[in-house]
Structure 1
Amino acid sequence: MHLNKVSLEARHISLSYGSTEVLRDVNLRIEPGEFFALLGPSGSGKSTLLRLIAGFNQHQRGELLVDGQDITGTPPHARNVGMVFQNYALWPHMTVWDNVAFGLVERRETKEAIRRKVGAVLELVGLADYAQRRPGQLSGGQQQRVALARTVVIEPKLLLLDEPLSNLDKQLRVQMREELKNLQRKLGLTTIFVTHDQEEAMTTADRMAVLDKGILQQVGAATGLYDFPVNRFVAGFVGTANLLEGEVVSVGGETLVFSVQGLGQLTLPRPAEPPAVGAAALAFRPHQVSIRVRDEQVDASRLWLSGRVESAEFLGEFSRYRVRVGEVALVTDQPHYAGLAMFAPGAEVRLGIEPTQVRFLDQ
C-alpha cells in the first residue's frame, strides 16, 4: 500500500470568530510525503488550522491549495482527507475489522476490495490477529493503531492527526512515536499533526511550524528551530532557554559589548552576522553553560560569571541548577555521573557560557 504524495499550501490564510483573530496571514508550504508538525501552546491556532485543512471550518481570507488546486470551497467529505482525533472515536459495538472497514462500506466498495484493503492495513499496523476483538478489549496503543488503520484504509490524500499521542502514558508515547514515523514512511503519505509537546514534534516531524496567537512564528527542521530561533517565543518554546534582556552597546572588529539589565556589560566575540546596536535579548541553552566551584581553574574560551546557587534539582541524567548572577537567574544543566556530588543551594559558583552557542534575538 503506497499512496499518492500531495503538497499542501496555505496562502495568506486568516480566520476570525467575531472580532477574535484565530489565524493571521498564515503562509505555509508542506511538501509531498512530508511528516509535518504544527506546534504551539493552547489557543495558538494549531488545531484551528488542522480543522481548516479538513474542511470543518472556513477561512475568511486566503487560499488553501492541495497539489496546486484551491480546495477552499470543497466540503469535508469531498476533500479525501483522513483525520485521527484525540479520543480515536472508535465504534465500541463493532469489531476491529468492522471499524476499519466502515469507510469502505460507506463508499460502497466491493466485498473483495474491502477484504483485501482491510487485511492489508491491519497487517501494516500489526493488528491482523486482533480483527475480531472489540475496541474495549484493546490497550490504548492498539486503539490508536485501529484509529490510524481506519483512516489510512480509505487512501486519503492527506493524513491529519490531532494530538495523536496525548492519551497515552509516557513510555507508550515514545513507542508510538516510532511506530507513527515508520508507518508514515511506509505509506509515503503527506501527514500533518498537531501537538503542544515539543519533544513529540522534534522527534517525529521532518519539519515543524511554531504558532503563537494565530501567527506563524517560524518554520523549519527541529535542529534549525532549536539552534537558530528567530525570536524569544520560539527560543523559549522549542527547548528551554536562558534569555538575558538588554542592549547591544557596540559592535567592533573582534568583539561585541552587550549590556544586560541587572547584570552589567558582557564582552563577547563578534558573531559572523552581528546584531544591530539597540535593544535585544541574548539566548542560550542550559546545557551549554558549565558550572564550577568559584575558585577552580577555568577554560578561558568561555565567558565566566560569578553567582550563587538558588535551587538544585536532580533529574536523573542531569542536574538542573538555578543560579543567581547579579539580579538575573540563569539555569544550567549538568550531566550526572554516579559519585558526582551536587552543588547545594547557597554554594558560590561560576558559570561558563560558550560564546559560539549564544544567539541574539531582536524581537
Structure 2
Amino acid sequence: MKKVSVECQNIRLSYGATEVLKDINLRIEPGEFFALLGPSGSGKSTLLRLIAGFNRHNAGRLLVDGRDISAVPAHKRNIGMVFQSYALWPHMTVWDNVAFGLVERRLPSAEIKERVASVLALVGLSDYAKRRPNELSGGQQQRVALARTIVIEPQVLLLDEPLSNLDKNLRVQMRQELLSLQRRLGITTIFVTHDQEEAMTTADRMAVLDQGVVQQVGRPSELYDFPCNRFVANFVGTMNVLEGQVRGQSDRIVAMEVAGVGEIALPLQTNAAINDRLAVSFRPHTVQLEELPERQTKRFIWLPGIVRHSEFLGEFTRYAVQVGQQTLTADQAHFAGITLYEPGAAVSVGLEPTQIRLLPA
C-alpha cells in the first residue's frame, strides 16, 4: 500500500460565532505516526473528524497525497477511523463486525473471507471470530475496532482516544501493540489523545493544540526539552517556573531579578530588553537538592530553600520546596539507604543552567 501524506493548509472552522480551529497548518509525513495532543476543547478531535470528512472547514485546504479532498464526502475518502467507544455492532460476531465494511463495498465473498481472516490473525483474534463484543475484554474489543478499520485498507488511519476506556496496565500494552501494528502496515496514522504519556511513547512527531491553535509541532523530545511557551511546557510534562525581570545582559549572560530570591545569572537564550518579564523554567528531575554546602557542584546555580512536604513514589521522591515566594517541585531518584528530607529542612536547590529555559512570562 502506498504511504501518503496529510496536509492542512490554513484551515479554519467555526460553529456560528465560535471559531474552533484557527489557521491550522500541519503536514503529516507518509507513514508517520502523528499525535494531536491537547486538553478538552482544544480542537484536536474536531480536526480529526474534519480529516475524516465528518465536518467541513470554512476556509483552507485539506490534502491527502497532494490532492485536495475538501469537497470529497467521508465515504469516498478511503480514510479509516477508530472511535473512542469502538462502535461495534453488539448483535454481530467479531467476524461479521470486521467484514461489515467489505460487505458494504460488495466485494467478492472469497476476497472478504481472505481479508477478514488475514486481519484477524494480524491482531491476534483468529480464535475469537465467532464471539460477540460483549464476550470480549476491553482490549479485545479495541482490536476488533482496529481490525474492522484496517481491513478496508485505508490510506490514512485516524484514532480518536482509542485507549481511554482501558485500565492503565492494558493501555500500556495496547499502545505498544498499536505502534507495532502501525509499523508493520506503514499506514499514515493520526492519533488524538489528551494523555501526554501516550503521545510521547508512540508518536514520531506531535502537535500540541490549545483553543483551536497549534502551539508547537515536533518530536516528543523536542517539545519536552525545548517548549516554545508556558502552555506547552506545562502540558508536555511538568515544569517549574520562577518569574523574574531582566536587569541586564552581556556576553551571552542575562541577569534576572527573581522575587524573593534576588539576582541570578543565566545563559542568554533569547533577545531580552531591560525590565522584560520572563519565566525561568526547568523540569523537576533536573533539580538537585543538597544539605551540605561542600557538596554543592559549581556548575549549578544554588538557591536557598525550605522543604514543605514530600511524596515517596518508589523510583523517586517528589519534594515541594519553597524558594523565595514560590514553591518548586524537585524529583530526586531514590536508592536504598538514601536520606530523605523532612518537612522544614533547609536545603540548597541546584539548577543546571543548560536545563533552564527562558519563556515568555
TM-score range, shorter chain: over 0.9
User: What SS class does the counterpart of residue 299 from structure 1 fall into?
Assistant: coil
Aligned to 2:193: 195
User: What SS class does the counterpart of residue 202 from structure 1 fall into?
Assistant: helix
Cα distance between partner residues in 2 of 1:19 and 1:247:
38
Cα distance between partner residues in 2 of 1:296 and 1:275:
35
| Residue 264 (str. 1) matches residue 290 (str. 2) | no
Aligned to 2:324: 326
CA contact (8 A) 1:37 1:194 kept: yes
Shift of 1:247: 2.3
AA aligned opposite 2:309: S
| Residue 42 (str. 1) matches residue 40 (str. 2) | yes
Paired residues for 1:202-281 under 5 Å: 202-253=200-251, 255-268=253-266, 270-271=267-268, 273-277=269-273, 278-281=276-279
User: What SS class does the counterpart of residue 344 from structure 1 fall into?
Assistant: coil
| Residue 115 (str. 1) matches residue 130 (str. 2) | no
AA aligned opposite 1:22: V
AA aligned opposite 1:223: S
Aligned to 1:126: 124
CA contact (8 A) 1:275 1:360 kept: no
User: What SS class does the counterpart of residue 142 from structure 1 fall into?
Assistant: helix
Cα distance between partner residues in 2 of 1:79 and 1:113:
21
AA aligned opposite 2:165: N
Cα distance between partner residues in 1 of 2:33 and 2:265:
42
Cα distance between partner residues in 1 of 2:97 and 2:282:
49
| Residue 307 (str. 1) matches residue 297 (str. 2) | no
Aligned to 1:284: 282
Q: Provide the aligned C-alpha RMSD in A.
A: 1.2
Shift of 1:20: 1.2
Shift of 1:249: 2.1
Aligned to 1:90: 88
Aligned to 1:14: 12
AA aligned opposite 2:226: F
CA contact (8 A) 2:261 2:303 kept: no
Q: Which moved more, 1:98-107 or 1:132-141?
A: 132-141
Cα distance between partner residues in 2 of 1:286 and 1:22:
34
> Given the alignment, which residue of 68, 76, 79 partners 1:78?
76
AA aligned opposite 1:39: L
Q: Structure 1 stretches of 5 or more lacking a match? A: none
Aligned length: 359
Q: Which moved more, 1:273-282 or 1:54-63?
A: 273-282
Aligned to 2:314: 316
Q: Which moved more, 1:332-341 or 1:314-323?
A: 332-341
| Residue 65 (str. 1) matches residue 72 (str. 2) | no
Deviations 1:7-54 (A, max 9, x none): 010011111111111110010000000000000001000000001001
Q: Which moved more, 1:211-220 or 1:127-136?
A: 127-136
User: What SS class does the counterpart of residue 295 from structure 2 fall into?
Assistant: coil
> Given the alignment, which residue of 28, 31, 45 partners 1:30?
28
Cα distance between partner residues in 1 of 2:117 and 2:85:
24
User: What SS class does the counterpart of residue 13 from structure 1 fall into?
Assistant: strand
TM (normalized to structure 2)?
0.97
Cα distance between partner residues in 1 of 2:241 and 2:141:
42
Aligned to 2:353: 355
Shift of 1:279: 2.1
Deviations 1:306-344 (A, max 9, x none): 110111011121111110011011110001112223211
Q: Which moved more, 1:293-302 or 1:321-330?
A: 293-302
Percent identity of equivalent pairs: 65
TM (normalized to structure 1)?
0.96
CA contact (8 A) 1:5 1:188 kept: yes
AA aligned opposite 2:78: N
Cα distance between partner residues in 2 of 1:198 and 1:44:
14
CA contact (8 A) 1:290 1:353 kept: yes
Q: Structure 2 stretches of 5 or more lacking a match? A: none
User: What SS class does the counterpart of residue 141 from structure 1 fall into?
Assistant: helix
Cα distance between partner residues in 1 of 2:260 and 2:102:
65
User: What SS class does the counterpart of residue 118 from structure 1 fall into?
Assistant: helix
Cα distance between partner residues in 2 of 1:173 and 1:91:
23
| Residue 336 (str. 1) matches residue 334 (str. 2) | yes
